[in-house]
Amino acid sequence: MKNVLILYKFLPQWRVDFFNLLRETLFKENIELTLVYGKLMGEVSKKNDEVDLGWGIYMPNKFIKFGKLELIGQPAFRQIRNADLIIVEQANKLLINYFLMIIRKFTKKKLAFWGHGLNLQSNSNSTGNKFKRLYSRQCDWWFAYTKSVSRTIQSIGFSGKKITIVQNAIDTKFLQKVYGEISDEKISELKNILNITNCSIGLYCGGMYKEKRLDFLLDTCYKIKNEIVNFEMIFIGAGPEDYKIKEAAFKYKWIHYVGPKFNTDKVPYFKIADVFLMPGLVGLAILDAFAMQLPIITTNYPYHSPEIEYLEDGLNGIITEDSSEKYSRAVISLLKDKGKLEELKKCCKSSAERYTVEKMVKNFKDGILQALFGGA
Query: CA–CA separation, 237 vs 14, rounded Å?
Result: 14
Residue range 34-59, pLDDT digits in tens: 999 999 876 555 566 799 999 999 99
Residues with Cβ within 8 Å of 101's Cβ and at least 6 positions away in sequence, in order, are: 111, 135, 138, 139
The count of C-alpha atoms lying within 13 angstroms of the C-alpha of 257, restricted to the half-sphere facing its C-beta, is 20
Q: With cut-offs at 50, 70 and 90, classify the pLDDT of residue 316.
A: very high
Query: CA–CA separation, 369 vs 226, rounded Å?
Result: 56
Residues with Cβ within 8 Å of 14's Cβ and at least 6 positions away in sequence, in order, are: 49, 170, 262, 284
Neighbours of 264 (CB within 10 A): 14
The string of DSSP codes covering 111-148 is EEEEE-SS-TTS-TTSHHHHHHHHHTTSSSEEEESSHH
Q: Is 262 exposed, middle or buried (0-12, 13-18, 19+ CB in 10 A)?
A: middle
Question: Among 328, 331, 281, 289, which residue's Cα sits nearest to residue 312?
Answer: 289
Question: Could you give phi then psi for residue 192, rounded to 5 degrees?
Answer: -65, -40
254 DSSP 8-state letter: T
For the chain, which domains are there? 2-169+356-373 (3.40.50.2000), 172-352 (3.40.50.2000)
Q: With cut-offs at 50, 70 and 90, classify the pLDDT of residue 66.
A: confident
Phi-psi region at 301: left, alpha or beta (left = phi > 0; alpha = psi -120 to 50): beta
Q: For residue 67, what pLDDT is reported?
A: 78
Q: For residue 224, what pLDDT is reported?
A: 98
Query: CA–CA separation, 179 vs 349, rounded Å?
Result: 11
16-27 vs 357-373: helix crossing angle, rounded to 10: 50
What percentage of the chain exceeds 90 in pLDDT?
A: 90
Residue range 93-130, pLDDT digits in tens: 999 999 999 999 999 999 999 999 988 888 888 888 99
- The residue with greater pLDDT, 47 or 362, is 362
Q: For residue 376, what pLDDT is reported?
A: 41
Neighbours of 27 (CB within 10 A): 12
